[in-house]
């Protein structure tokens, strides 16, 4: 057989055996960090919403809609976190594209009551998010990450890319082991503050503080419902009564109200980032916020 013909046959065989890239687009940074750590040559992970943006008010551009269109799988948080994106997701789902809510990895009995950020358009609701009374910030609970979210994302990848099952099992277990150690450290430290109150502009860390026995109160819960002068006065008057141990702002939320309350109550103030703007991994997202908590707590 001629050398050129033989080379041609080899190239043809290689082309036949190459697997197509599975493109997964995630809405927010935390799930991007998890899937990016699991990424293989068969999977490409893209992020839709920049970590500096507020997912509650995000509306996709034409270019970003094209990114979703070019995806095999779209992963979003659910529970109406991405309320302005729901009609777009519903359109993709109805067209047959695989659209998955990370919140479906958890049973409803594990969710906490709270504002769901529900917008006017709920056309994309799935069975796991029909109740509008749940707080959607599930990824900030380390136990949820270890027991449901990381395993759910791992199993998703195994389903679409079974040839890399061993790799997905190994890397996901490394993440879980790391976060379990962080959970133990945070539980030990925060046990001294059980029953105390943390005040934030927004209830994104509700699951986190609830996990360790603290009470989270927020200045406002939805979008556009900023406190009136009377409500601010009531918050100031109740600071000592509620045993507020610290206050935190968020990069994606208005900050001036927390700053006013901190000044009035002479209470330590810091910044917690639920989306991990500068985090390189999901473990770093947790550790950087925990470091800020330790810096501010008395």
Query: Which two three-digit tokens encode residue 133?
Result: 């009374």
pLDDT of residue 118: 36
Q: According to the model, what pLDDT value does residue 90 have?
A: 95
Q: What is the pLDDT of residue 112?
A: 96
Question: For the chain, where are the E strands, in sequence order?
Answer: 22-26, 43-47, 73-76, 98-101, 197-200, 215-218, 244-249, 269-271
pLDDT per residue, tens digit, the chain (298 aa), is 444 444 444 444 444 444 589 999 999 999 999 999 999 999 999 999 987 788 888 888 899 999 999 999 999 999 999 998 999 999 999 999 999 999 999 999 999 997 533 333 333 333 333 446 899 999 999 999 999 999 999 999 999 999 999 999 999 999 999 999 999 999 999 999 999 999 998 899 999 999 999 999 988 765 556 777 888 888 887 776 778 999 999 987 777 788 888 888 888 999 999 999 899 999 999 999 999 999 999 9
211 contacts 293 by C-beta, under 8 angstroms: no
47: β partners: 26
The structural domains of the chain, ordered by start, are 19-179 (3.40.50.1980), 190-296 (3.40.50.1980)
Q: What's the rounded Cα separation, in Å, for the pair 135 and 50?
A: 21
Note the pLDDT of residue 21: 95
pLDDT at 227: 78
Give pLDDT, residue 223: 58
pTM value is 0.85
Task: Say what the pLDDT of residue 19 is.
Answer: 54
Residues 79/138, Cβ–Cβ less than 8 Å: yes
Q: What is residue 12's predicted lDDT score, i.e. its pLDDT?
A: 45
247 contacts 267 by C-beta, under 8 angstroms: yes
**Three-state DSSP state, 201:** coil
């Amino acid at each position: 057989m001629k050398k050129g013909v033989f080379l041609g046959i080899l190239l043809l065989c290689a082309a036949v055996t190459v697997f197509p890239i599975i493109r997964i687009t995630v809405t927010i940074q935390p799930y991007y960090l998890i899937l990016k750590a699991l990424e293989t040559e068969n999977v490409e992970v893209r992020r839709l919403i920049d970590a500096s943006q507020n997912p509650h008010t995000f509306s996709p551009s034409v270019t970003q809609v094209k990114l979703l269109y070019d995806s095999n799988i779209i992963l979003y948080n659910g529970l109406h976190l991405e309320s302005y994106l729901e009609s777009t997701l519903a359109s993709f789902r109805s067209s047959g594209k695989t659209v998955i809510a990370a919140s479906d990895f958890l049973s409803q009995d594990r969710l906490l009551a709270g504002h769901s950020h529900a917008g006017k358009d709920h056309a994309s609701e799935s069975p796991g998010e029909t109740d509008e009374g749940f707080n959607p910030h599930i990824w900030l609970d380390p136990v949820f990450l270890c027991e449901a979210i990381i395993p759910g994302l791992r199993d998703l990848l195994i389903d679409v890319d079974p040839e890399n099952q061993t790799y997905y099992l190994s890397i996901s277990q490394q993440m879980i082991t790391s976060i379990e150690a962080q959970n133990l450290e945070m539980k030990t430290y925060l046990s001294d503050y059980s029953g105390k109150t943390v005040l934030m502009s927004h209830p994104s860390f509700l699951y986190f503080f609830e996990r360790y026995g603290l009470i989270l109160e927020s200045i406002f819960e939805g979008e556009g419902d900023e406190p009136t002068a009377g409500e601010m006065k009531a918050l100031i008057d109740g600071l000592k009564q509620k045993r507020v141990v610290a206050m935190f702002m968020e990069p994606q939320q208005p900050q001036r109200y927390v700053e006013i309350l901190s000044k009035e109550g002479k209470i330590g103030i810091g910044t917690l980032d639920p989306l991990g703007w500068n985090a390189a991994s999901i473990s770093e997202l947790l550790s950087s916020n925990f470091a800020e908590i330790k810096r501010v707590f008395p």
